[in-house]
Amino acid sequence: MRKEFERVSPESVGIPSGVLEELLDALEGSGHTQMHGLIVMRKGKICAEGFWSPFGAAQVHSDHSLSKTYTATAVGICQREGLLSLEQKVIDFFPEDTPEHPSEWLRSVTIRDLLIMGGGFPPEQAGFPKNWISRHLGAEMVHEPGTFWRYDSHGTTLLSAIVEKVTGMSMVDWLAQKLFSVIGIDEKHVLCRKTEDGICIGGGGLFTTAEDNLRLMKLYLDGGVWEGTRILEEKFVHEATTCQLENWNAHAQSPWIYDNRVGYGYQIWMCRPEGSYRADGAFGQFCIVIPSEQLIVSILEAGYNGNQLQSSELHLPEPYKGENRPVYGPQVTLDILFSILLPALRQEALPEDPAAWHHLRERLSRLRIPDPWGDVQPDWTRHLENQKLETADQGISFGPLYGMKQARRIRPQAQTLCMREEKGILLLQFIEDGISRELKADMTGSRQQGILSYESEGEILSKVSCAAWFTKDGILHLSVLWYETEIENVYTFSWNGDLMTIEKRITMGLVGEAFHESGVYRRMQ
């Protein structure tokens, strides 16, 4: 049975409530992130927890590469149970996918090499087709294994494939049996994307909650033991959470990403504060551990990975003000955490401050992501009367865009559309590849939550939160937030006589918008 963590005042664990409010101010005002969730644990007790609606405590969220730490944990459990050794050669698990004449370097790659991102493979290719293992193992190696750090999500997914080989079950099922059931993660809500050949994408396919991630990293903070039950070997935990391979050379071209340059363990990043480390996923899915302070901070966000953004264009916290260089969004979040929270920590309990704690709890209870709309123009809803349309040129897909550009999935285009407004709700019905679907979006300055399923196409995302609004130029805007991830699809609908043009963009937390596709529809007679 899951044992809940004790919830206490920040002061009781040596943190002023006002400092946590200062932390919230900085995160929300950084200009580089849309916050989704935050949990602060100290001395084994949760002292602050908040989620920005529509994201919530029980809602799973894309882990991206934070998945890698779960995969490493699955490997560590297999090691403890004698199912594998970290020194075993990787190709021994995949004889059918190994080249006929493997190179000396390929023959020498071990499980440990993959754990430390030292496999020696060239930059990975996009996607996970059915032949991805043979494709990866067949690539000409560029470094001697164990000597050069290169980020390799396919190498991590090779680890999940090895776990599945030695256990005879999916990696998620293995974790459910050996990890989740012990540390209090509800296996029923964990999602995982799979390769085309059915293997869990251990390099970035998991969806868990902020507290799930906190529980995982508390296991590492506690040396691999959970309430008296040892899950991971002490040696494995030590090696996983200390530098096993230097990675500064791999990030020499991006020196402003400070916390990606201080070393790497077993699918765990080292951080600048001495002895600290983190599980880390794209766009700021963090679970940061500072053992000397008995501190764990779990964060879900959409931190922008901006390209050559200039600090003059955005409101930035120190140390970026006045600097003219590229900025990496999630690094700003880490800087805020280390500069605001860490100096305020006290080993002893502080005097209780009921008023400050009450104010903090009130604020945490009413967090919400920023509204995407400006002035709502209700008079333009007349455009939505009797809107039945069919493709005139090229259609558009209403399915989710997920992941980086090279990994986006192509969705069928909507052949027909039907749009109308009822009591402040936009109803958008469409047919894609013969399947009828419907979106509902609030037009009164709020959001409408619902389900948009592409399960028949193998899509695991389904939860959406939608808003629609007209701007003064008569253009209809539609925001579709897939709130199991940080992806938001933003559409604009513009009319020209009987023709309507739809443009679709993908955003990461309302910053970093990128054009994706457009379509033209004709009013049906």
- Give the other-Cβ count within 10 Å of 212's Cβ: 24
Query: Quick check: 409 pLDDT over 70?
Result: no
505 bridge partner residues:
490, 515
Please write the tens of the pLDDT for every residue from 59-84. 999 999 999 999 999 999 999 999 99
301/131 Cα distance (integer angstroms): 33
CA distances from 6 to 9, 42, 226, 344, 356 (A): 10, 11, 16, 22, 19
| Mean pLDDT of the chain, nearest integer | 89
Residue 136 phi/psi, 5-degree rounding, is: -70, -45
Please write the tens of the pLDDT for every residue from 131-152. 999 999 999 999 999 999 999 9
pLDDT value, residue 251: 66
Please write the tens of the pLDDT for every residue from 255-313. 678 899 899 999 999 999 999 999 999 889 999 999 999 999 999 999 876 543 333 33
Q: At what angle do helices 67-80 and 210-221 cross, to 10 degrees?
A: 40
489 bridge partner residues:
480, 506
pLDDT value, residue 473: 82
Closest CA to 332 of 31, 37, 20: 31
- Helix extents (H) in 297-436: 329-336, 354-365
Mean pLDDT of 10-33: 94
pLDDT value, residue 312: 30
253/365 Cα distance (integer angstroms): 41
282/265 Cα distance (integer angstroms): 18
Is the peptide bond prior to 400 cis by the omega test (within 30 degrees of 0)?
no
Please write the tens of the pLDDT for every residue from 166-209. 999 999 999 999 999 999 999 999 999 999 999 999 999 999 99
pLDDT value, residue 9: 98
pLDDT value, residue 166: 98
pLDDT value, residue 401: 72
- At residue 19, the 3 state secondary structure works out as helix
Query: Quick check: 100 pLDDT over 70?
Result: yes
pLDDT value, residue 406: 45
**Angle (CA) 15 20 23, round 5°:** 130
Taking a C-beta distance cutoff of 8 angstroms, is the pair 51, 45 a contact? no
pLDDT band at 524; cut points 50, 70, 90: confident
Mean pLDDT of 302-326: 48
Q: For residue 271, with 0-12 CB atoms within 10 Å meaning exposed, 13-18 middle and 19 or more buried, which class applies?
A: buried
Query: Quick check: 407 pLDDT over 60?
Result: no
